[in-house]
Structure 1
Amino acid sequence: MISTCTTEKFSSASKDFAWQYLFPSSSRCQHPYTGQICRHHRHNSSYRKVLRAVKESGIPRRITSHTFRHSFATRLLETGHDIRVVQELLGH
């Protein structure tokens, strides 16, 4: 159970970019502790489904989950984000 001081401590988490999921779920649900309607991250199986679909499509390139990481970084750089910010987001 989350204490009230924890929810108060992170009260802006639902609006703060740093707390957002990179790949949010397509559906919303009720948070088990607070009862608020929220959106969690995608389930791991959804990535496997995408990777399987790419493989079955006959695209002759090797696609892995690391490909998502590269495309995320590339898109950030293309939209003008600083390379140091991108490196920090990726944990470098």
Structure 2
Amino acid sequence: MVFEEKMILNGEPEDEEAEEEEQDMVDPLDVVREKCAQAEHCVHTRAKLEDCESRVGSKSETAEDCTEELFDFLHARDHCVAHKVFHSVK
């Protein structure tokens, strides 16, 4: 019984340290996506997407959606990401 209590007490600080390490980790994909979203071509497609969203949002009844603009932006961003993300993966 005493042995089990010591194991529990000894295990608690390690669990806290493991949680702290997990919080410090940053997904490299998110970092690369943010950088690529600021690239010239991506900024251009994002501007088109935002224009479409404001146009559609200003109308009360419309069949238009911004699917094409969204896919264009995601394609441009992911094309940039594909060339950069594998350099940060081991």
TM-score, normalisation: structure 2:
0.28
Larger Rg: 2
Greater RCO between the two (CA within 8 Å, min separation 6)? 2
Query: What TM-score, normalized by structure 1, do the two folds share?
Result: 0.28
